[in-house]
Structure 1
């Protein structure tokens, strides 16, 4: 109890806006409803909404419970209710309620001295209002952000946002919001000690509230006007506003504002050196303040007791629910075990029968599979043997074909040499005929048909060799490929020269050019390189 009383005293002595807002809301509504009674009623309404599956109503009651806890200074509980409401509003896509909830969470963080967190929630609410095109909601949020900047003494930014809010409110003709922004602007000017501008803005706010009959809002503005005049040395004019504020506070029964009005009058009389009157009104202010402390303490103690009772009741319900669930679980487990025993017994018998049948089927399938595998293995061996034999035949054919070509070319080469000797003789008629014969023999030696046939058989024996060769060097000519193929067959230079129809000297030149195309370093064996491909 001592600890709670200390918290209450500190909160009210510091002029906590939370307690002020709560008093103003209840007094403006003309009801002195206690927060504990209000919380109980909201909890009942929430439970009924949940039971009826009215999610939006349930979320709104959570929001209102958060406001009650916030206004009485129970921040953690308020935040918990706000967050539950936020989750439900998001699930039901209730953007308008969600934005209002986010603004309230921002205000909670602001009074918890966490301005960065407050700004995050204000920004989320602002984004929703902008998306919806809700100027009034946007203006309210801009005003809150501007107030945040004011408390951080970033006055230029605060002015900018408050004027944006003012423009939005005026565009939708929102009188109460417009008056509040003028009051905010007056507060900024007062902080900057620009009292004339502060007086003008406070006066505009007062005029609008008088026009709309908002007497509660007038009380605070009258007190602000009195402060401005008192700070500029116009004590009597300032006290006139304080008297007006006092009269309205007495008429509406707003005791906190009575305390402020008496306190302002005491300051005014003190500045006029009328200390007896100053002491009298200061005593009145303290008396009302003491009464407020006492009543607030009683309300918060009642609320604390209600919270305790609710938590105890919730714990009992949760415990009873767990016991019921445990009993249902045990009963269900027993029934399930009996059923499982019966089912398992039937399954065991059925499984044994099925197992015997499956084993018979499996043995038959394994025998058939083994026979099939044996047949496939035999077929594969036959195919491999056939391919091996075919490869041997192709290799023998390639060798035979090559030897045939060598013999034919050797014969033709010798014949050509003989004819070249005859050409050197001086018999003219014979010379012409022999030249023609030599040309025919030369064409026969280098005829491509034999090489095409040779290449086909070569590729069958040396599979993919020419493909790999061209992947390593794609600028080889047909003659280059012929030379590589003959070297691959391990033929000596003389036989290679005969097959190509060139001299051994020319063959050395051709081999040199081939080495350059293959980028073969000097000293490396061309034959060894070709065999490694």
Structure 2
């Protein structure tokens, strides 16, 4: 029977694919989890895996949330909080505020029953903020009721009443009778703890009325049993037995073993108080029987549930291992692709660089060839210029030599004429004396004719460029006569020729050379001509 139900639910769940179908799936699982939590957990796990494969984050979170609820109901708090926290991350990512608030509220309840009241209140506060932002009155009322439980647990009854009444007011404004009935039930329990049985009875009566209006028989059973408990504590034993029997009948009709055990126990206590020991014993034994049945059923369910959890954990570990292998394979494949791409890029880069290198080398070779040709052309031009300059220098040297020879010949002729005329003058012939004196004067004037020297100087400077500038660096006291003597020494004329050109005697020339040595600061023993030749 169990397997048949399981297969039918599986077919129903996985045949629905749209959003409405997903809501029906989750609702059907929630109903199934009340009687078959292990089967519900298996279905949720399959649905969760399908949602993960399809990338349906909303369904994935909802599955995790319901798996957390099932684990919480079975008392597996550690596993429950793990599912809740995973769902919380998904809902936060989605930005689904309603799902997030519901999940936070369930986490708060879990922490409450796990006696972690501080964490419980923190979850409630977060959920309450979201519900207020979304104007969700039902959600706010539920959180107010849960906060009231926290204060009741701490025996801070004033605060407990405040939040329970705040929850009742909010449920009433939302016109949600199921929630209001639960709050009246909570208020009745607080009054019962405070031994205010009249107030407790009134609250339970209100709760029962609202549950009946909503046709909620399962919730009504516990409230009716609570009414019987109040009547027993106030000494109204007959009325108490009536209410307990009513609760037990409803529990039997719905197959609620937990309420059957509770009702049997309360009836046993009541019969004991009115000294009907046979009935008390009967219901006490009946309560024990139901309790053993509950423990047996719970044991079977727990065993099956633990096996499912073990299988889920084992499968989860296997899935994690396979996912890790897939990730590693993906990383390896990606790395291989990247390395292949890098190798291709490297080959392309090397090939491109090689081509560029060859191209640069060819361009450099052509550039060097062009430079070589240009240098050859420059060398040829330079050689031509040198040849031209050499020719010009030869011409100027020949001109200088010609000017020098002309000067020497002219001065030699003039010297000869002067000597002849001087001899004639000494003969003292009166009729020729005056005429000869005039000739001598003309000859003397011709010895130092500046035009000849200008022509000589121009020709000298063209052959020996910047010579006069260099010689002036050695002395600033040189006269024009000194410069002429230096020029004649530079062209390496003999002393006789120099004396003839300057129109002086060799003795005078010797004196002039001596003076020139002093002006040029030439040391004793150094040759004047060699010094001038070196400049």
Residue 249 (structure 1) aligns with: 251
Question: Does the 8 Å CA contact 1:26/1:32 hold for their aligned counterparts?
Answer: no
In the comparison of the two structures, how many residue pairs are matched? 338
Residue 285 (structure 1) aligns with: 287
TM-score (norm 1): 0.59
Shift in CA distance, 48/219, structure 1 to aligned 2, threshold 3 Å: same
- How far apart are the structure 2 equivalents of 1:298 and 1:35? 11
- How far apart are the structure 2 equivalents of 1:164 and 1:55? 35
Aligned runs of 1:65-464 on 2, under 5 Å?
A: 65-327=67-329, 329-330=331-332, 333=335, 337=339, 340-341=342-343, 343-348=345-350, 350-351=352-353
- How far apart are the structure 2 equivalents of 1:30 and 1:49? 20
Question: Does the 8 Å CA contact 2:30/2:66 hold for their aligned counterparts?
Answer: no
- How far apart are the structure 1 equivalents of 2:150 and 2:52? 36
Question: Does the 8 Å CA contact 2:69/2:80 hold for their aligned counterparts?
Answer: yes
- The runs of at least 4 consecutive aligned structure 1 residues that moved more than 6 Å come to 25-28, 355-361
- How far apart are the structure 2 equivalents of 1:114 and 1:266? 35
- How far apart are the structure 2 equivalents of 1:297 and 1:168? 40
Question: Does the 8 Å CA contact 2:30/2:40 hold for their aligned counterparts?
Answer: no
- Secondary structure of 1:113 counterpart: coil
Shift in CA distance, 169/334, structure 1 to aligned 2, threshold 3 Å: closer
Shift of 1:45: 1.5
- How far apart are the structure 2 equivalents of 1:30 and 1:121? 28
Shift of 1:355: 7.1
**1:389-419 superposed Cα distances (whole Å, 9 cap, x missing partner):** xxxxxxxxxxxxxxxxxxxxxxxxxxxxxxx
**1:10-39 superposed Cα distances (whole Å, 9 cap, x missing partner):** xxxxxxxxxxxxxxx999958874211101
Question: Does the 8 Å CA contact 2:33/2:41 hold for their aligned counterparts?
Answer: no
Residue 417 (structure 1) aligns with: none
Shift in CA distance, 346/296, structure 1 to aligned 2, threshold 3 Å: same
Question: Does the 8 Å CA contact 2:197/2:230 hold for their aligned counterparts?
Answer: yes
TM-score (norm 2): 0.58
Q: Highest relative contact order (Cα 8 Å, sep 6+), 1 or 2?
A: 1
- How far apart are the structure 2 equivalents of 1:28 and 1:218? 21
- How far apart are the structure 1 equivalents of 2:29 and 2:181? 20
Question: Does the 8 Å CA contact 1:49/1:57 hold for their aligned counterparts?
Answer: yes
**1:319-343 superposed Cα distances (whole Å, 9 cap, x missing partner):** 3344444455555655655654554
- How far apart are the structure 2 equivalents of 1:334 and 1:29? 51
Question: Does the 8 Å CA contact 1:26/1:33 hold for their aligned counterparts?
Answer: no
- Secondary structure of 2:126 counterpart: helix
- How far apart are the structure 2 equivalents of 1:338 and 1:136? 60
Question: Does the 8 Å CA contact 1:149/1:158 hold for their aligned counterparts?
Answer: yes
- How far apart are the structure 1 equivalents of 2:224 and 2:32? 21
- Structure 2 residue runs of 5 or longer lacking an equivalent are 1-26, 368-535
Shift of 1:108: 0.4
Shift of 1:313: 2.1
Shift in CA distance, 356/39, structure 1 to aligned 2, threshold 3 Å: same
- How far apart are the structure 1 equivalents of 2:257 and 2:44? 26
